[in-house]
A and B are shown apart, each in its own frame.
Chain A
Amino acid sequence: MAETKEKSLSDEKPKPRVRPIVRLGIFLISHSFHVSVVCCTAGVLALFLLPVLAKNTYISENALMPGSASPMLSNQHVSDGNRLVKDLTNPNSKSSETGIESHKIIAQYMLDLGAEVSFHKFHPQMNQFHPLHFFSSPDSGKIQENYSCSSYGINTVGIIRAPRGDGKEAIVLVTPYNALKSGFGEALSLGIAYSVFSLLTQVTWLAKDIIWLVADSQYGEYAAVAAWLREYQTPKFSSLSAPNAEMCPDVNNLFELKGHSISGSKFSNSFRRAGTMAAALVLKVRDQNEQFEDTISIYAEASNGQMPNLDLINVVNYLAVHRQGLRVNVEKLWSLLNSSWLKSLGEIFESLAKVAKSLYPKWKFGIPATEYVEGTATLASSLYYQALGVPTGPHGAFRDYQVDAITLEISPKFSLDKVWRNDILLRGGRLIEGVIRSVNNLLEKFHQSFFLYLLTSPSKFVSVGVYMIAFALLIAPLPMVAASLYVDANSSSKRSKGDSSTPSAITDTDEHSIAIRSWSPTTSFMIWVLLSILSLLTLNSVLASPLACAKATQEKEWALVKSVTISSVFIGLGLMSVINFATAEIGALLMVPMCLLAQPLKLDVRAGTLRSFCRMICNLVLGHIAFPPAAFFLLKGMLDGFGNANVGDFWMWVESLWAWNSATYLFIGMVQLPCWVLCISILFHTC
């Protein structure tokens, strides 16, 4: 900095007119330290202010008109649903080993309503990692040769055709059901769906076809729904791998239903379709519950942080709260609710808001401290699940095909009373009916409301325009600092930059060890760490050290390395923010302070002042936190207590990211880890 000033002083006299924008740039670069401090603080502050800045949700699409019609679901339909629940929970129906009996019961019930019924057989499919298939639709899947008769699932699909509709669009209702070990909750969810379905066969207002998918969840809920969607959207017409499920005896057994059904033409063993899917609802009922209220939880996050249109959540929230008197939940990080620092922060904001309001009565931005804490907990979980990039339920499969979908999980207050059961059937059914009716009203697909948002409560959201500010503030100083470092280093000595071969090395080892699968998570994690360190050290000694030896006099080498690190972090974060914003946000929180502060420890030790000592401490702490396994371990420890945390958990977590095709995996492997390694190399730089 001082040098630039000198330089500017020296050529002050014949000064050409510098354009304001360039002057501003030079000014910012020369004051990059202050700028970065201000920006980072403001960025973190803005992140913590988000719950305060959250707006109330509103229904943006007028055509939805939720709750404008009174629910038509009557006790008659509820008793129909109850009948199905009884039949399914009847021990006789579970006699069959494969659970085909219960599928037959469901299919028979659907047929009696006059719906078109078909079974869909599927084989659970192995997940495959496609590195750059973030938002493109999944392909129709590899045909596996070794299908066996024992491993297949059966989805039961019922379709109601809208009596006067043109069949161009459809609404999907999904109830996961495991015929082998179904709890009472699953049966109840089928009961709710059936009561709605039986109502919908009679109504005249239907404009879109209704598909009820009973997804066989014995291989996972997601797998069943994804298999059905794959068949719906990208069917395979040629069955070259002949060993089909038709040969298996159980399946043939299944189709005997056709024989004794009355309206035989309604049943077919071919795959049935309706039109373009407008929206999908996944309905679940939780088995055990300790709450005192009937609550309904909304899960919305799909793969890579994609969210359904906010209007869908709004409709559910509106109907549940204002019509059915259910409490609506969105996922929270519960451990944050009790944290005292958050509470005090909330109180500070509250008192600030109070002061502001007394100054100028129109400033009303404060929220109560408790609300703030809750909002932060919800926001944190919203951010976390979006960043994870792993869908939080079977609805995630729909989002891959650009269909808006959410999972509704009803957790009733526990009681085995029959009145209670009827009540939950009625209220759950009316909620589903209301949502379907609203979606049915839609003339256009969901497009009015937001797709990029974070929820701070079921009725409050932060839109992209607001939460981007925090991220933008966090990464804004990066290019300036990089430029100023480069200028500094360049002005003193013209040198080429240091080792940039490390990032590729680390990703190599990363993927190499992923392939080793037979060990336990902990051992494989350890092996990975050892291999990475080994390969890094070898590469460092082979590639980096000769250079370092040759230019031993290089004073500012670390500054160049830091400049490179910072610019690569900036590019990485910028790219990631396009793919998955939440990942970029969390990544920025972890990496930006570390990158900005990094300085060789030797220099600090040599300086020996209080400031350099503080910086050293900060560097060491940040260097630990920003290491992804450490960050994961810390976070998990904070949330669940350190007793439960295990080193192998991180391995499992990364493997799940890999299996779900998450972009976060790539981010960790290609941005975060290399940059961390570079930062560490700066810290231990011998200068």
Chain B
Amino acid sequence: MALLRRPLLLLLLIVTHQFLQFRIAFGSVNEEGQKQEEFYEELLLKPLPDRKLLTHFHFQSSAPPSTSNGRHHHLFPKAISQLVLKFQVKEMELSFTQGRWNYESWGGFDPIPSSNAKPPGVELWAVFDAPQHLIDALWKNLTHTLSGLFCASINFLESSTAYSAPEWSFPPASGKLRYGTLPREAVCTENLTPWLKLLPCRDKAGISMLLDRPSIYRGFYHSQRLHLTSTGSGSEGMDPGIILEQTLTVVLQPDSQRASLAHASEKHIQPSWSLSSIFGKQISGRCVLAETSSVYFLLDKGLVAELEHIHKENEKSEENVLISEKFWNNPSFELSAKPDRIFIEESSLLSKNASVLYKFEIEKYGESEPFDLGLFWKTPVVWLCQQAPLHANRFLMGSGNERGAIAISLKSTQSSEGFMGSNSNDERCELRVDVFQVVPWYVKVYFHSLQVFVDQQPKAVSDIIEKIHVSPSKDKVSPGVMELVLTLPCSVSSAVLTIEFDKGFLHIDEYPPDANQGFDIPSAIEKSPVMSYTEVLLVPLTTPDFSMPYNVITITCTVFALYFGSLLNALRRRVAEEERFLKDKAAKKMDRIPLLLSKLSAKLRGRHLEGPQAPPASSSFINSKSVLKVILIAGLAVYWQYYFS
């Protein structure tokens, strides 16, 4: 259908647009032939070692460069193109993630984890194609637009305390990149629905039909990503070409009967699954607007090696079973559908094993015959995913509300010899590690306290760190940013960076509603050279007792009143003068009405000063008499109440 439409469209465009300039540009498009709005949909399935399944949806829409006036799109989402135009976005990535990517068992070296493993919550970075002084304003507007577009509180990244401008950790952008994260943002269907709206078929047809909300949110990891790049428009009046990549990475656990756990032999068989069992749906046909629509099934290196090993042990037949005729029905596992193509990775330098990719075209399937790929394991298989050379961990040290320290520990995964080869010189094998860390301003990091330990030996910072870029935080203005480039020897087994901080105080109205939960330090990024994110940290800060403002106000007011009252009194009063004044008064008025005055003054002064004047015995007698009277009356009342009620 797309093929049919294309000539029609071209004709229409030629007729309507008379500009020479445009015709030239258009001509160039026409020559290449492919510069149409295009849409691809793909799904990749990959079994993971810990009985889980990685499903990775990949949708790509692209729009070629074209004129800006009155431009309508056929496939490409208009919201995105408007956004790119308005905010002059050169490149942007937005991800919503729930859960943690388990680098140890799910691997960290393949392209999927290295570009799709994201920190929990929302992460956004964007490169702008605009003059330096406009970038902050553009970023702020962009966050608000995205916030509205994706029903998320991305607008909180607007505040200058929430974003930073890294220099080396992301694509080089010479100060035109802005980066911000919201670690606490919850991700749910309300974020997925607008994301799906950007697809031409939404979730009504094609691979996206599988996106059954309950099953994808039941997963162990859920990351929804949107990445767009605009290929700069060379000339005025042209809209840039945009490539929009939307990926959804979900790690799911196929249901397995717990009863089988009891049997030791079946204990380690990987669970069998099919698309309908994990998603509750099948693919009934492709999205007709898509150029290609395909499903891939990936067996990674370690698994392939293990399967071949098993096969060799069983029957000593031909070398490569996985790509032979009966690949879908081999002794280890069975695929329910026949793949259309098989790709084998070109073997890398050292390892002779290569990952195997099976491709299934969706075009063949339709309503009557829906596509439902299933995998049935026959024998237990144990393998390991390929690890990144270093595994990064981050944790807090110390306790209390005063100070603490952040430690980033890098551990060699040992399974990286093959990788090391590519990076080593003959004389000195070195491993370059980039570390990027943003800390909020209320965590006051002392950059001078940076310490490095390599293989449990303290090292001078200058020996290990090749480059460092630090921008200290400003209170209530900007976060602290630290970018490091470390060079570690390849034989390193562990390295630790520690940096100390003081916990700051916030103003009462700067506390979030759930201040007692603690405050997040966003994930650090470690690149060696594949990118990985560390954990989010939770720093408990001192919080006022929000429920007791009344008590606080009362007690402070009382204390202040007492203090200032007595202070003023002490400063103001002149005792001698007062005495003289009193004497004068007494002398004047003694003769006239002495009785009345003395009575009055006695009343004013209170009774107990009168006490000493009278003989003590009598006063106590009077007092005890009145007390006795009171007791008598009370006793009578009690007696009355007790016996007559």
Contacts and interface: CB of A to CB of B under 8 A. Distances in A.
Contacts of B411: 270
A12 interface: yes
B540 A445 contact: yes
Contact of A234 (B397, B569, B586, B608): B397
- Interface residue range, chain B: 35 or more
B642 A264 contact: no
B543 interface: yes
Nearest to B397: A234
Interface string B480-516: 0000000000000010101000000000000000111
A164 B220 contact: yes
Contacts of A437: none
A167 B100 contact: yes
B520 interface: yes
Nearest to A163: B220
Contact of A137 (B268, B400, B569, B641): B400
A126 interface: no
B397 A445 contact: no
A237 B453 contact: yes
A70 interface: no
A9 B575 CA distance: 20
A8 B518 contact: no
Given A166-B100, A355-B642, A444 B613 contact: no
B3 to A, nearest CB: 44
Contacts of B396: 276
A239 B454 CA distance: 11
B98 interface: yes
B398 A234 contact: yes
Interface stretch (A19-27, A334-342, A540-548): A19-27
B537 A275 contact: yes
A167 B535 contact: yes
B348 to A, nearest CB: 22
Residue among A5, A9, A15, A202 with max Cβ neighbours from chain B (10 Å): A15
Nearest to B97: A166
A5 B617 CA distance: 13
Contacts of A400: 399
A265 B104 CA distance: 7
Contact of A166 (B120, B258, B458, B518): B120
Contacts of A166: 99-100, 120-121, 183, 535-536
A401 interface: yes
Given A8-B612, A169-B538, A273 B395 contact: yes
Nearest to A233: B399
Given A9-B612, A445-B540, A276 B518 contact: yes
Interface string A348-375: 0000000100110000000000000000
B385 to A, nearest CB: 9
A358 B49 CA distance: 75
Nearest to B520: A168
Interface in A180-225: 202, 204
B456 A239 contact: yes
Contacts of A114: 50
B582 interface: yes
A12 B536 CA distance: 75
A237 B639 CA distance: 78
A154 B151 CA distance: 50
B416 to A, nearest CB: 14
A137 B538 contact: no
Interface string A1-16: 0000100110010111
Interface string A230-260: 0001110111000000000000000000000
A443 interface: yes
A142 interface: no
Contacts of A233: 397-399
A494 interface: no
B606 interface: yes
Given A167-B535, A168-B520, A276-B518, A23 B399 contact: no
A136 interface: yes
B28 interface: no
A263 B397 contact: no
A164 B582 contact: no
A131 interface: no
Contacts of B183: 166
A509 interface: no
Given A137-B399, A265-B49, A444 B516 contact: yes
A266 interface: yes
A262 B395 contact: no
Chain A CB count within 10 A is highest, among B121, B516, B616, B638, for: B516
A20 B607 CA distance: 12
B535 A168 contact: yes
Given A16-B582, A273-B395, A276-B518, A238 B458 contact: yes
Contacts of B606: 20, 23
A447 interface: yes
Given A17-B578, A20-B606, A275-B537, A445 B105 contact: no
A554 interface: no
Interface in B557-576: 569, 575
A402 interface: yes
Nearest to A31: B608
What are the 3 A-B residue pairs with the smallest beta carbon separation, nearest first?
A444-B516, A168-B538, A166-B120
25 contacts: A5-B612, A9-B613, A16-B578, A17-B578, A17-B582, A20-B606, A137-B398, A164-B99, A166-B99, A166-B121, A167-B535, A168-B518, A168-B520, A168-B537, A169-B538, A202-B258, A204-B218, A237-B456, A238-B458, A263-B105, A265-B49, A275-B538, A276-B539, A359-B642, A401-B399
Interface of A: 5, 8-9, 12, 14-17, 19-20, 23, 27, 76, 114, 136-137, 161, 163-169, 202, 204, 233-235, 237-239, 262-266, 270, 273, 275-276, 355, 358-359, 400-402, 443-445, 447
Given A166-B100, A167-B100, A444-B514, 11 more contacts: A12-B612, A14-B579, A16-B582, A166-B183, A235-B407, A265-B105, A275-B538, A355-B642, A443-B514, A444-B517, A445-B518
